[in-house]
Structure 1
C-alpha cells in the first residue's frame, strides 16, 4: 500500500465521524435556535467530532473491524452526549 492509498483509507475511516458531527451540529442549531444562540456551530461540531472519533476508534479496537453497526450506534450515542455537553451541559460555560 502506497502513501496515497493509506491516506485514502484514513480519510474514509474518519469521514463518517466528521460528517455526522457536522450534520448533527447544524441540525441542533436549527432545532434549538433560541437555546443554542450563544453557542457557536464550531464548538458544537468540535465536541461532537471528538466524541465520534473516540467512539469510532473504540469500536475498531473492540470489534476488530471498521464499519460495524454497533460502532455506528455507539457513535450516535457519543455524538448526542457531546452535543448535550457543549450545548446544554457543563461545557456550555467553558
Structure 2
C-alpha cells in the first residue's frame, strides 16, 4: 500500500467524525443564538472530532470491522450528548 492509499483510507475512516465535528457545533450555534457556550466554535469542533475518532476506533476494535451501523449510531449519540454538555 502506498502512502497515498494509506492517507486515503485514513481520511475515509475519520470522514464521518470530521463531518459531524464541523456540522454539529455550527448548527447548534444557529439554533441557540442567545445561549452562551462554554467553549469557542473551534474548540467544540476539536472536542467533537477527538470523541468521534475515538468512537470509530472503539467500534473497529470491538466489532472487528469498519462501517458497522452500531458504530455510526454510537457516533451520533455521543456527538449529540457531547454537544449538549458543551452547550450547558
Tell me if TM exceeds 0.5.
yes
Q: How many residues align?
A: 88
Q: RMSD of aligned C-alpha atoms?
A: 1.4
Match of 1:91 in 2: none
Q: In 2, distance between residues paired with 1:38 and 1:10? A: 31
Residues 48, 80 of structure 1: 8 Å contact kept:
no
TM-score (normalizing by structure 2): 0.89
Q: How do residues 26-45 of structure 1 correspond to structure 2 at under 5 angstroms?
A: 26-36=26-36, 39-45=39-45
Q: How do residues 1-94 of structure 1 correspond to structure 2 at under 5 angstroms?
A: 1-36=1-36, 39-88=39-88
Task: Return the structure number with greater relative CO, CA threshold 8 A, min gap 6.
Answer: 2
Residues 52, 79 of structure 2: 8 Å contact kept:
yes
Task: Indicate the SS of the match to 1:65.
Answer: coil
Give per-residue Cα distances to partners, 1:41-76, cap 9 Å, x unaligned: 112211211111111111111111111110000001
Match of 1:92 in 2: none
Q: In 1, distance between residues paired with 2:26 and 2:57? A: 24
Which contiguous aligned blocks of 4+ residues in structure 1 show a shift greater than 2 angstroms? 36-39, 84-87
TM-score (normalizing by structure 1): 0.84
